[in-house]
Structure 1
Amino acid sequence: MSSLTTATPTAPQERMHLLDIIRGFALLGILLMNIEYFQRPLVAMAYGLDTSQTGLDYATAWSVYTFVQGKFYTMFSLLFGMGFVLFLDRAREKVSSPRWLYFRRIFVLGLFGFVHIVYIWGGDILLTYAIAGLFLLLFVNTPARRLWKWGVAFIALTILLYWFGAWGIQMAMNSPAAPEMMADFDEQRAVMAEMIANAHQVYATGSFAEVVQFRLSEIALMYGGGGIIFFMPTILGTILIGASLARLNIFTKPIEHRQTIRKLLIFGLLFGLPSALFVGLFGIDIELMIPDYRGAQVFTLQAVANLGLCLAYMAILTVLYLSGKKWIQYLAPAGRMALTNYLTHSIVFTTLFYGYGIGLYGEYGRFGITLMALALYGFQLWLSTWWLQRFQYGPMEWVWRSATYLKLQPMRKAA
């Protein structure tokens, strides 16, 4: 380990260009998924696809539900795991206490996430990454081929817990306690229906203070019960798989791993595509809050589809990158400013839709708001390129780096 005590951030020329491209593409998928929940309560996610839609709205919603939802937060999680390894490995070369530097980086990310989830939008993923990131310190010295096994084990644990829950409920339904349990389920459904109705009202017409107050209750319902038990291990497991991929240099040195990337593509399509189609055809009306055998089956196939298609998408981008397709280079600047662009999504669309802003909540169908999402993403591709021609970092990336290294970083590029 280096004896240096002054840490410096990664210079732009040292960045992994392919990872920026993948991160830029992941931003698109995250936005296509999140746009629904800028106009729909987050708790409604437990009920699957909104089947009340018709025509282009339904076709758009179904396509995103089948091929996008879950696949891109998985991609972001893999990228976070890769970033974890790359950051720590570089920190070891520069400072005597790399774990402390990493902890500062995670702490600042957690602050971003806290502000985002409370004051901007409840669908934040940053705070979850910060919490999961603390557990990653337990795996600093774990070899790559054990990291991915740990990752798969955490994901499998989540699936197993859901199956145990379904089994337990099924056993209870065959016991004398069944009527009482059914009454409890009906009460839970009534509470959820009331919360969803209140959410529509508050987000459409409420003041900023009312929205924040309601958002806290929605977050508590989503994560305070069993939600965090099922969500956190999946995120941590996916991050560990990403850390393994980084240690194996699969996407950081892709030229040396063409064969592995082709295998990931085949694996992803072979397992991920059929699973995604099954969920899209037979799992659109699932009720995940109350486990049963059908829900457990869909939950399992969703996990397979999320990881499988995510790896396939990443492999396809890598093949295009290695074959010299120039158009995918436009994704890289957006990926370098991923934090800024991600937070901008929430600021723009909550301002556009919520009652304390312009108040367009519920005014447009899924197809219309998806077009809005694509328009914003296209603008961000241009703006990110323009910005990085003049500055070294995106605005939020600059804040994050400066706070991590406890020193204001040079923002403008040298003339």
Structure 2
Amino acid sequence: MSTHKRSTAVDAIRGLSLAGILMANMLIFQYGMFGKDELHFFQPSALDTISHNILKVFVEGSFMPIFTFLFGYSMVMMRESLTAKGLKYGRSFSRRSVLLIGLGLLHSTFIWEGDILLFYGGIGFFLLLFVKRKARTLLIWGIILLALMTALGYGSMEPTPEDASRMEAYVTKSIEVYGSGSFGEIMDFRSNEEMPINLPDWLMLLVVLIAPLMSAPMFLFGMAAAKRRRFLHPSMEIRLYIRWALLIPVGLALKTAGVMLGTTHEWNGIFMMLGGPLLALGYIYLFASLYAFSSRQSVVIRAFEAVGRMSLTNYLTQSVVCVFIFYGFGLGLFGKLGVLQGALLAIGIYAVLAVGSLLWLKRFRSGPVERLLRIGTYWSWSGRPKTKTGPVPAAPAADAPGEGPAAT
């Protein structure tokens, strides 16, 4: 196995996940954070309904967890890389987390409400508690938390007439504001409009406290994979990949059952919360097996690698492009395009970004936002950690972690 291919397998997986994330996020770009689950306010066609259900099963909730997995993976790889140079890991990672929080605040405030960088930056401090743990310990904690979070999904909550009325008013106004409003009007709506979900303060606090634990299993599974040196030698691990790829039919079956039962059924939450991560793990290992079999010259594989290496730049670029397509200060297509058409548009945007990433990386070593993040992380204009002089403690060799929402 060549060093080049070993160092790019995770980038390729990250690039694949960005394609699925764009398709899932396209629903939010088109219909809003709450409107995407209230399509009846947009007079959907039968094709829209079918396409929406397909996306719920195959895409939603199963590609962002891949990024989550890779975030945990990159934490371990980054720590090993810095330790091998005799550097302290905590300082660099803390600076990177703070930068992500700042970038996420800017992104969510001025560009798009569906930002995930702010959450990644914040949860990074929580994950520092686990970064030195053994792989077995990480797996045990991941399984325990996955079981607990899945159990919390049991139960149903029928919206009251007041809740339904509040949701209708919010989505109806969002159609007008996002579809034809100016940048200032959209900002005002986001900042001042009352949320359609009215939760007691104590319940809102509980949700905030539980949110990191809901995503924690995939972070921990990624950290465990890095501890066990997964994806560094793809051709030697094909059997392992194929075995774990069998999680795909399990995840699809659970999510299909959840969609068929509907959101008001008491088992819906359990099926969706368990099916999403399992399907994500299956996708990871299926793509890893395809990567192991692939030719190094495959333009498709190289495109996924390029998008993965520039995933932070591409993630932010997606937001800018899509808000100009759907919001009133751009083309104003909010709620007008259709679910299937939106998915096809996502594929088209991704293809353009993939070509752009390939061309960019022919001249530069990393994406522009990744470059800035590395400068801030390592406090160095070169974007590289400053090594200490003299002998350094022995540590396992590690490829440099990738950059992007999943690795940052």
Alignment TM class, shorter chain as reference: 0.7 to 0.9
Q: How does 1:235-274 map to 2 (within 5 A)?
A: 235-266=215-246, 268-274=247-253
TM-score, scaled relative to structure 2: 0.84
1:208 to 165, 169, 183: 183
Is the 1:246–1:252 Cα contact (8 Å) retained in structure 2? no
- Quote the Cα distance in structure 2 between the aligned partners of 1:252 and 1:329: 17
Change (3 A) 1:15 1:401: farther
- Quote the Cα distance in structure 1 between the aligned partners of 2:259 and 2:56: 7
The question of 1:280 aligning with 2:248 is answered no
Q: CA RMSD in A?
A: 2.7
- State the Cα deviation string for residues 24-45 of structure 1 (Å, max 9, x = none): 1101100110111112121245
- Quote the Cα distance in structure 2 between the aligned partners of 1:77 and 1:329: 22
* Number of the residue aligned with 1:84: 75
The question of 1:303 aligning with 2:273 is answered yes
Aligned to 2:63, what secondary structure does the other structure show?
helix
Structure 1 stretches of 4+ moved >4 Å: 12-15, 45-52, 217-224
Change (3 A) 1:152 1:32: same
* Number of the residue aligned with 2:309: 336
The question of 1:108 aligning with 2:78 is answered no
Deviates more, 1:301-310 or 1:393-402: 301-310
Higher helix proportion (structure 1 or 2):
1
Deviates more, 1:138-147 or 1:56-65: 56-65
Change (3 A) 1:248 1:259: same
Is the 2:41–2:168 Cα contact (8 Å) retained in structure 1? no
- State the Cα deviation string for residues 296-323 of structure 1 (Å, max 9, x = none): x111111222112212211121111111
1:320 to 290, 296, 304: 290
1:140 deviates by 2.1
Give the AA of the match of 1:245.
A
Aligned to 2:44, what secondary structure does the other structure show?
coil
Aligned to 2:260, what secondary structure does the other structure show?
helix
Give the AA of the match of 1:298.
N
* Number of the residue aligned with 2:114: 123
* Number of the residue aligned with 2:17: 26
* Number of the residue aligned with 1:384: 357
- Quote the Cα distance in structure 2 between the aligned partners of 1:162 and 1:217: 30
- State the Cα deviation string for residues 21-65 of structure 1 (Å, max 9, x = none): 101110110011011111212124565898952244333322211
Q: How does 1:188-203 map to 2 (within 5 A)?
A: 188-203=163-178
Is the 2:6–2:233 Cα contact (8 Å) retained in structure 1? no
Is the 2:303–2:357 Cα contact (8 Å) retained in structure 1? no
Q: How does 1:59-98 map to 2 (within 5 A)?
A: 59-98=50-89
Give the AA of the match of 1:349.
C
The question of 1:358 aligning with 2:311 is answered no
Is the 1:271–1:304 Cα contact (8 Å) retained in structure 2? no
1:13 deviates by 6.0
Is the 1:265–1:315 Cα contact (8 Å) retained in structure 2? yes
Give the AA of the match of 1:317.
F
* Number of the residue aligned with 1:408: 381
- Quote the Cα distance in structure 2 between the aligned partners of 1:241 and 1:52: 41
**How many residues in Structure 1 have an aligned counterpart in Structure 2?**
374
* Number of the residue aligned with 1:368: 341
- Quote the Cα distance in structure 2 between the aligned partners of 1:311 and 1:252: 17
Is the 1:254–1:318 Cα contact (8 Å) retained in structure 2? yes
* Number of the residue aligned with 1:157: 148
Is the 2:150–2:269 Cα contact (8 Å) retained in structure 1? yes
Give the AA of the match of 1:280.
V
Aligned to 1:132, what secondary structure does the other structure show?
helix
Change (3 A) 1:197 1:48: closer
Give the AA of the match of 2:382.
Q
Aligned to 1:249, what secondary structure does the other structure show?
coil
- Quote the Cα distance in structure 2 between the aligned partners of 1:344 and 1:100: 29
- State the Cα deviation string for residues 225-279 of structure 1 (Å, max 9, x = none): 365355321222211111111111222333443332222112x134212112212
- State the Cα deviation string for residues 319-344 of structure 1 (Å, max 9, x = none): 11111243323210011000011111
- Quote the Cα distance in structure 2 between the aligned partners of 1:33 and 1:200: 19
- State the Cα deviation string for residues 169-222 of structure 1 (Å, max 9, x = none): 7xxxxxxxxxxxx8x933223222222222222211222222123223579777
The question of 1:232 aligning with 2:207 is answered no
- Quote the Cα distance in structure 2 between the aligned partners of 1:161 and 1:277: 19
Give the AA of the match of 2:323.
T
Aligned to 1:393, what secondary structure does the other structure show?
coil
Unpaired stretches in structure 1, ≥5 consecutive residues: 1-11, 170-181, 288-293
Q: Taking every aligned residue pair, what percent have the same amino acid on both sides?
A: 30
- Quote the Cα distance in structure 2 between the aligned partners of 1:369 and 1:395: 28
Deviates more, 1:53-62 or 1:231-240: 53-62
Deviates more, 1:203-212 or 1:47-56: 47-56
1:138 deviates by 0.7
* Number of the residue aligned with 1:173: none
The question of 1:345 aligning with 2:299 is answered no
Deviates more, 1:352-361 or 1:136-145: 352-361
The question of 1:58 aligning with 2:49 is answered yes
